[in-house]
Chain A
């Protein structure tokens, strides 16, 4: 299959045929295929995409977290960006879990690159990547006792007392 024959519609069709209801929804913002899947199925679906004979999503471009506090039951998200080098085709996969139990299976079994990216996501969002061999902080200082990009924590440094809140939008 040449590069032209892979496109958003054909990949989505193949995914729907294989996984059916597991593809919770899909969208194409700015022409970028985005699907949502259940968190516990992430390894199965991404492995299928990676090992598919024509789709060949062989590269994990990015893995990151996101926090939507108003999205009850689906507050915490993990977003995967996949890239097929042979087809020059990219797509985005999202999965969401509840803030109370932020557990997502690790992707290390498929991509070694997931190791540090999952550590970073754990560092900032507290997402537990089940099966990760070494899930500890990577960017923030080891003594930090919270996950700073969760929305309930202020972005500003809380130790400052010399700034007038009125001028800093607090």
Chain B
């Protein structure tokens, strides 16, 4: 049975439906997130299972992986990020167009995990802002799906003006990310 998402709240009558633009766009964004998988280790393997037919991230509108940051909405960082990799990750984030979300999958991406060592970045939030953290070492596909669903919730309820707000710009500047 094909199941489609419910319409947002609104006023409905014979031959018309009225709602706010925020809600329509939020619904569209949330159900067509294009992820960019930045997979460096075992969490990336779990992500492959997540994309496979058993778990099937496509059910959530995210089956279209974007291997170019320019067309991606959701940066999924899965695995240990070495300090040498940090600038690369930041450049990938920079190249993504707004609106963009970031999910840190697994202990390493979230906090460095067991790699409390000189060569490993102690969490990607040291260099880019993160929206959702998925714990686990590695997390199971169900957990990754839950993380994506949390991103969907954020996308659904985000104000269209948020990305233009001073608060958002200040947040990006605190990461030394250029704003237009």
Contact = CB atoms under 8 A, between A and B. Distances in A.
Contacts, number: 29
Interface string A72-87: 0000000000000000
Contacts of B84: 139-141
Contacts of A148: 118-119
Interface string A142-170: 00000010000111111110010000100
Interface in B114-129: 116-120, 122, 126
A65 to B, nearest CB: 16
Chain B: interface size category: 10 to 19
Nearest to A154: B118
Nearest to B82: A141
B145 to A, nearest CB: 28
Contacts of A163: 116
A156 B116 contact: yes
Interface of A: 139-141, 148, 153-160, 163, 168
Interface of B: 83-84, 86, 112, 116-120, 122, 126
Given A157-B117, A160-B112, 14 more contacts: A139-B84, A140-B84, A141-B83, A141-B86, A148-B118, A153-B118, A156-B117, A157-B112, A157-B116, A157-B120, A159-B122, A159-B126, A160-B122, A163-B116
